[in-house]
Amino acid sequence: MSLFEKYFKACNDLDRAQLESLLHDDYVLERPAKGDKLNKHQVIDLIMSGVREDMTAHNRRLIYENDEVIVSHSILEIPNVSNDATLLVRLVKDGKIIYQISGATPMPASEG
């Protein structure tokens, strides 16, 4: 199983121990849209809080992964908030994710 797959399985399973083993001790999540950065423990606490239950990732796909970088894309839907095309870049060091940044482009509202 790839690091990408292990990470999303741990997130979906709310597996704190697995998340701690997959994220480097110097891990940083940079959130340009919010203008902040979170460390490893802040991100794990956020994931464990169930924050992901309020959003749905559609068409998640791995674009590229090697022992230095993981690039993925999905459509992230947060009901009554936004619907964004999201590109995530994760840097890998010593087999663990050390840095993550995302870019989001708002999608037009669907007609229905």
CATH label of the domain that carries residue 40 = 3.10.450.50
Is 112 part of any domain? no
Is 94 part of any domain? yes
Residue 80 — very low, low, confident or very high, per pLDDT cuts 50/70/90? Answer: low
Structural domain span for residue 84: 3-106
Is 14 part of any domain? yes
Judged on CB neighbours under 10 Å (0-12, 13-18, 19+), 76 is buried
Q: Report pLDDT for 31.
A: 87
Structural domains in the chain (count): 1
Is 53 part of any domain? yes
pLDDT in tens, 84-103: 888 999 999 999 999 999 88
Is 41 part of any domain? yes
pLDDT in tens, 20-59: 999 999 999 998 878 899 999 999 998 898 766 667 777 8
Is 86 part of any domain? yes
User: Please, where are the H alpha helices in the chain?
Assistant: 3-13, 16-22, 40-48
Phi and psi (nearest 5°) for 35?
Answer: 70, 30
Q: Please tell me what DSSP assigns to residue 67.
A: S
Q: Report pLDDT for 112.
A: 46
Is 111 part of any domain? no
